[in-house]
Structure 1
Amino acid sequence: MDLNLRKAILNNISENNAEQLEATIVDAVQSGEEKMLPGLGVLFELIWQQATDEEKDHMIDILEEGIKNAT
């Protein structure tokens, strides 16, 4: 069976509005379930692809700080 996880995730959220997208992200993060990681990865990929270089630098700074605080 050929399963394209990225396509399936995008199909599942294609009709979502901003509020629903936020709820999806919050739920995935709060649940802490490993099965949610691929979906978050696809969402991050979309954000990254649309971001300017300045926004990408800012995200990396936030990520770096988050990693420092998590360890």
Structure 2
Amino acid sequence: MDLNLRKAVLHNVSGNDKQQLQDTIVDAIQSGEEKMLPGLGVLFEVLWNNADEKKKDEMLGIMSDGLKE
């Protein structure tokens, strides 16, 4: 069985509007289920790959600050 998680996640959210994406992210975080983490990783990969250097630096700053708490 050839399971490509990245492709499956992208297929599941393809065409979603901003509200649907937010709902997916919030649900994944609030559920606290480990099985949701790979999907969030795929969504982060999309975000990272489509961000310019300024946005990437901003994301890194937010992550760095969040990890200090």
Corresponding residue for residue 67 of structure 2 = 67
Structure 2 runs not aligned, ≥5 long: none
Identity %: 62
- Give 1:1-71 correspondences, 5 Å limit: 1-69=1-69
Q: Aligned residues, how many?
A: 69
TM-superposed CA distance for 1:28, in Å, is: 0.7
Q: CA RMSD in A?
A: 0.6
Corresponding residue SS for 1:47: helix
Could you tell me the TM-score, scaled by structure 2's length? Answer: 0.96
> Over residues 5-60 of structure 1, what are the superposed CA-to-partner deviations in whole Å (9 max), with x where a residue is unaligned?
00001001112111000000011111111000000000000000000100000000
Could you tell me the TM-score, scaled by structure 1's length? Answer: 0.93
User: In 2, Cα distance between the equivalents of 1:59 and 1:15?
Assistant: 24
